[in-house]
Structure 1
Amino acid sequence: MSTRTATSNAHFGNHRTSDVHESASTAALFGGTTTVVDFAIPAPGQTPTEAVDERIALAADSRCNVALHGCVVDWDAGTAEELRALSARGINTVKLFTTYRGKFMAGPSTVKNVLEVLRSTGGLAYIHAECNDTIERVMSEDEERANIERAVASFEQTSGRRPDGWYCRYTASTNTRRLLVENGGYTYDSDAYNDDLPYFVDVAATEHLIAPYTLTYNDAKMIAPFGSENPKVFAEHVISAVEELRHEGLAGHPKMLSVGLHPRLAGQAGRARALRMIIEHCLEAPDVWIARRIDIARAWIDRFGASTVPASTPESDTDQATGRKLRGEIHED
């Protein structure tokens, strides 16, 4: 008989979920999951032990096995002994948050104290690791300028050349684009989600190209809770977009389709199959160009003007030929 265990991030019974343990565990069993591991996160003024006891009471109606991770938010004179007592009860993993100040956040000294106790009990810390100070702090212009310079130096050291474009994983500041132009050497940036086609903006008297990014056609849609875990759904979604944009292109309005890919996601075998389906479909279409973002940027500048493209990466003859042949019907993978 095989069993499956699920570590839950849907904290049953609260946190705006309609599930209680009875309904959630029934669904789990139908899916072949026999054990649910929940988090006992203390409410304000509650101790870790009180949080565990409350979760155990809530799980009384569970139809499958239930286990718990403990959690520490605040440290006091009795916390170390509580953790040892919880370990003796079989709860030897502890969740810590390094963000959500005033709600769940454990300060550096609390994290250190918990780790010391877990070392003695053979326990394991389960850390939601984000730097709250960084999240809360708005970088000054000088700090951001220095960070951009450090990033460029890192790229140059790693790859031997500076980047052609720029994209902030999180939101760019009001200074980012101007600092990029000041830093120089960028053909484009992608810190925009507001269009299907590249466009120019005036930045410090410089015509600067924006090549918009997208979260719509992004392989993050192949993981929960952002979308379907069935790779075929993602493939069909992108292929449908390709065909609709081809229809618009044939009507005289060519488009760009940006597909966001992450090796850690699309690189998994099951998800890579979805990517292969998309590529094979595009290769069968005579009017679709699969190109790098830098190739699209250069083609756009060449067709619609703007200042000279920085010569950091020479285009191959194939890229140049493809760009001249299909420029206008521009799609990006």
Structure 2
Amino acid sequence: MRVPVEISGEIPQQSPDLQENQSKLLVNFNEELPNGKVSKKEIRTPIKRQKGMTCTLYAMRRIAFFNSLADSKSIQAYTELKKALSDFKMTETCFKHLIHTANKIIKDFDLNLEKALIKNLSFMHSYSKAGSMYRFNLSPIEFYNQLDLFPKWVILYSILIQRILAPLFSLQQTDWHPSKGMDALRDSLSKKGAHFFMGKYGTWCYNKPPKEYKDLCTSTRKVLYFDKDSYQADEAMFTHGIIVDQIKNINGKNMVFYRDPNYPSSPGKKEKVFMLSYETFVKRLTDFRGLNFQSNECSSEEKFGLVSCIPEKIYSIR
């Protein structure tokens, strides 16, 4: 995980074991991610369906391994975010509560918000575009303060994901970028294991239920897909966190397989796995703020995914 050094505050560090394992290359890791999650006691346990707006947290938990050096402050921040997101409703009051919770965590960690904004590629890309379009003379923090509640929240959340949640869960940014193409993503999956991504994915994006692809179903996996003509989320303001664990060539077409936190996952039980074409996956991919790559809404240097620092542990615990 790349952490800006000039932002003050106590950031959880990786243990020596994590740092050592992080440098290891994994071979042929483009395989099924085990069901469920790894608990703090390093036991594979069931993971429930997400509550409210917790898709990011529930998705990341599938590849999370709690950092043994994380302090109680990080655990408390995770708990507070989970509670606020679980209780979320589409109201102004709830958005204000999310922002209040995020600001409290930022204060608890002594993070300098203005410096964090300047180091946030996604925010600065929007700031520069707005400055060119409207020719204003605002500092980054002044621009941020004039934003509406929703864009304020997604900026704060992207900062918390990278500064608090990723280190707590032993996650780091992936080197893969959509400009590198499908083979590079397959290679990254092979070396780093399953990836966390955000975008317009999942059941909520469609007006028809998914269909079963029986030829790919096994005793442990039920593979599902959606009809293209049922997609309806192009104008939606929200995005959804998912876990991608495989790319396979199905009847001459490269398909991306992912887990949706809207569905529970338990060891020993059949897992619902969704697939879509690689082209569709990239088309609907966004950064952590929900800005679309193919629409040129993001910085060309933006990072799009998270991976485990120690995937061999995530895959070996069954």
TM bucket by the smaller chain? under 0.3
Q: TM-score, normalised by structure 2?
A: 0.22
Q: Which has the higher contact order (CA 8 A, sep 6+)?
A: 2
Greater Rg, structure 1 or structure 2?
1
Q: TM-score, normalised by structure 1?
A: 0.21
